[in-house]
Amino acid sequence: GCDGSILLDPSPTIDSEKNSRANFQSARGFEVVDEIKGAVDEACGKPVVSCADILAVAARDSVVAVSLNTIILLLITNYNSKCYALNVY
């Protein structure tokens, strides 16, 4: 699937894509998403986020992390291998 339905656990009322043959050994890391969601829900005292929310934030933060590494590498390369401190938010 192309949406968050792949994150749903199977139940009597949900025929989940999570364990389907089409996703065998391609979609993985569900336990990481479940662990993060559990920690957020526990910290808030109740379920407040969806697994799709967790993935959206993780994707955003991954892009930022990769971008920062790229920016720092470019700075080092462009300034004759001298390292300059850079705060990017």
Pick out the residues of the known binding site for Ca(2+). Answer: 1, 3, 5, 17
For residues 63 and 69, give the distance between their C-alpha atoms in angstroms, rounded to a whole number: 10
The residue type at 86 = L
Concatenating the DSSP letter of every residue in 26-41 gives TS--HHHHHHHHHHHH
**Between vectors from CA 24 to CA 21 and to CA 60, what angle results, nearest 5°?**
125
Q: Mark the binding-site residues, compressed into ranges.
A: 1, 3, 5, 17
Other C-beta atoms lying within 10 Å of the C-beta of residue 6: 19
